[in-house]
Amino acid sequence: MATLKELNVFPVTLVYVGVGVQQRGILSEGFSGKKNELAQFGRRTTPLTLLPFQIDDEEGRQQWQVLLKTIEKKLILAEKYPGMLARDLSDYLYARSAGHFASLMALINCGCLRVIRSGNERLDKDLMDQVKNDVAAEESRKELEAAMKAGLLTSRPGQLPKPGRKTA
């Protein structure tokens, strides 16, 4: 069995994925304070963070749309159409995922499985309401949906929310 140190001789990149990796002390190997310097794993890794998408400004809304359009192009559904995600479900998908990529992809993947089995092969709000999502995303859902319904928040570029809007 090889150790991580023995892998240094191979020209490979190891990717570790997790939530709260730094906060949980994984990179510090349980050391704290001055002893943190002894954590070899932390010295050999570069943490990268994927922040949730934000829609509190035009640039953020544009980025959300690019993401949805990209996903839309990759979907293999018999009845998909341009704008199915980016136009018709944009606010809905943001509210359901709170802008988190993993939550969004889990929701879309489960939705696609459901529509393929049903023979409909088109994603819409009624169908997506039958799909469960992760707890963290669902906890944010009601507040985000209420803000969108009140016109205080939108994921659509060019549509400014009403003054006094909440940020996502």
Q: Which pLDDT tens digits describe the chain residue by residue (168 residues)?
A: 556 667 667 777 767 677 776 677 766 666 667 676 666 766 677 777 788 999 999 999 999 999 999 999 999 999 999 999 999 999 999 999 999 999 999 999 999 999 999 998 999 999 999 999 999 999 999 999 999 999 999 999 988 766 654 444
pTM flag (> 0.95)? no
Cα separation, 152 vs 167, whole angstroms: 9
Cα separation, 33 vs 104, whole angstroms: 38
Q: What is the pLDDT of residues 119-153, one digit of tens each?
A: 989 999 999 999 999 999 999 999 999 999 999 99
What phi and psi, each to the nearest 5 degrees, are found at residue 98?
55, 25
Q: Report the pLDDT value the prediction gives residue 29, as an integer from 0 to 100.
A: 67
Cα separation, 16 vs 140, whole angstroms: 27
Cα separation, 21 vs 59, whole angstroms: 29
Mean pLDDT estimate for the chain:
85
